[in-house]
A and B are shown apart, each in its own frame.
Chain A
Amino acid sequence: MSKIQYIFQAGSLYREFRERRMRFGVNLPQLTQDGVSIHKVDFVSNNYSCLLREDQDVVDNIQFPYMLFLPEGNKQFDEVIIILNGLNESEYRKFFPWAASFAASGIPTIIFPIAFLINRRPKGWFIPEEVGKKLSVRRNLEGNSTCTSYNVILSERLHEHPERFFLAGLQTYNDMIDLVNTLYCGEYRVWREDRTFSPFTKGTRVHFLGYSLGGYLALILFLGVGDNPILSQGKLIIFCSGAAINSHDPDLNANPISPLILDRNASERLIEFYKQGKNFPHMEKVEALMFKAVFLSDQSILGPNLERLKKRIRIIGSGNDKVIP
């Protein structure tokens, strides 16, 4: 491995790449700077049939671009880190120093958006006048607080249908299996100038860095298919993630009430929905079993599985974290 590099300032890389110009199906030339090259890669999700009927037509959630950071040069690589984002994440920008540091240190890195987050959300959800109207409605809900223009859209969606939380995760879970399969089988291709190239060798080891919501999702993925050959050589880094929602000590529970995540009513509705064991689509699947084991701290399932995977998992927390204590 190369010497570890720390990219503290990725502003110039970010501005040059122009995240806002990323469009599915439209070529965006790769950008190379400071030993890292960034590629826009298109993805088509074939896993949207699990969603609520009204969510299945959101095209931006089905076909979208994501980012691949490669160490500069033409060599092929045999490992990659996939970063999964947090709840209500709106942009790629804060992950730039993370991905750039890993790539500059010799490890290719993908930043992949979870369903209905970052650029898997239609721009039509964010027309300022509409956001203002919705904000006014949510501020007037009895007992509500922490309502902001940042959290209003997700708050409304999850308050209306808390099952969306699991279903978006289920879609992304299956997207991850498809992506990991492509990487592992050596079928992953990226556009460079006027042709495609294959940056990864067959048998590539795929690692996950799951941050916040992405940490839960990556953990559930490892609990489900972590021993499958496509993932069995991979490592999982859980960053600021993994707290339960049903501890007797409320200070130990995940708490998404935040001006940047969810308002109070949406958060309480979401947590109560899953804590009370309400029915939701696909709850008979093994993914739902693992989902409940993690969020509801079912140690009879979680304990032995985590023990089995312990050598492949690294958990990083933050002492000041109020959302995931």
Chain B
Amino acid sequence: MGKNLGWVDENLKLGIHEYPFNVQSHDQPNLEREMSRSYDIAKEFQEGFKRFVDSTIIAVCD
């Protein structure tokens, strides 16, 4: 995306594209359970989620 758009402001460490705050890999054994619980942010992605929320709100309020 950076190559096409020219820059990336923030590069986060998240999960799979489809569930960036819930699922680490398509191969994980509990994939469907994690997808069905995607209304909660998984513990390992909470830091990334905070940065995502911060980044969005700062951009909007800037």
Q: A240 and B41: CB pair below 8 A? A: no
User: Please, how many angstroms separate the alpha-carbon atoms of A244 and B9 in the complex?
Assistant: 18
Say whether A316 contacts B4, CB under 8 Å: no
> How far is it, in angstroms, between the C-alpha of A93 and the C-alpha of B39 when the chains are bound?
5
- Assuming A242-B1, A315-B1, A317-B1, is B41 touching A8 (CB within 8 A)? yes
Check A240–B20 contact: CB distance below 8 A.
yes
Taken together as a complex, chains A and B put the C-alpha atoms of A260 and B23 apart, in Å, by 12
Q: How many residues of A contact B (CB 8 A)?
A: 58
- Size of the B side of the interface (Cβ < 8 Å), in residues, is 42
Complex interface residues of chain A between 82 and 141 (CB less than 8 A to chain B): 86, 93-94, 96-98, 101-102, 105, 107
Closest Cβ of chain B to A80, distance in Å, is 10
Q: Complex: how many Å from CA A260 to CA B49?
A: 21
Q: Given A6-B49, A316-B52 in contact, is the A13-B17 Cβ separation under 8 Å?
A: no
- Are A325 and B38 neighbours in the complex by a CB distance under 8 Å? no
Q: Which of A36-44, A161-169, A194-202, A231-239 contacts B (4 or more CB under 8 A)?
A: A231-239
Between A and B, how many residue pairs show CB distances below 8 Å? 153
Let me know if B39 and A320 touch, CB within 8 A: no
Contact in complex: B37, A321 (CB < 8 Å): no
Which residues, 225 to 249 on A, are CB-close (under 8 Å) to B?
235, 237-244, 247
Inter-chain contacts of A107 with B (CB < 8 A): 57, 60
A275 at the interface (CB under 8 A from B): no
> Are the C-beta atoms of B57 and A4 separated by less than 8 Å?
yes
The answer for the CA separation of A114 and B56 in the assembled complex, in Å, is 21
Task: Select which of A1, A4, A238 is within 8 A of B53 by beta carbon.
Answer: A4
Of B5, B16, B57, the most chain A CB neighbours within 10 A belong to B5
Asked if residues A314 and B56 are in contact (CB atoms below 8 Å), the reply is yes
With A207-B60, A321-B17 already in contact, the answer to whether A11 and B37 are too (CB < 8 A) is yes
In the complex, A322→B18 CA distance in Å? 10
Separation in Å of the A90 CB from the closest CB of chain B? 10
Which residues between 301 and 325 of chain A lie within 8 Å of chain B, taking CB atoms?
Answer: 302-303, 306-307, 310, 314-325
Q: Does A252 contact B (CB under 8 A)?
A: yes
Across chains A and B, which 3 residue pairs bring their CB atoms closest together, nearest first?
A: A323-B17, A94-B38, A314-B59
Chain B residues packing against A (C-beta within 8 Å): 1-22, 26, 35, 37-41, 46, 49-50, 52-57, 59-62
Jot down 15 A-B pairs with beta carbons below 8 A, ordered by A.
A6-B50, A9-B39, A93-B39, A237-B59, A243-B3, A247-B4, A259-B26, A307-B6, A310-B7, A315-B9, A317-B2, A317-B11, A317-B12, A318-B12, A320-B14
A residues bordering B, Cβ < 8 Å? Answer: 1, 4, 6, 8-11, 13-14, 79, 81, 86, 93-94, 96-98, 101-102, 105, 107, 207, 209, 212, 235, 237-244, 247, 252, 258-261, 294, 297, 302-303, 306-307, 310, 314-325
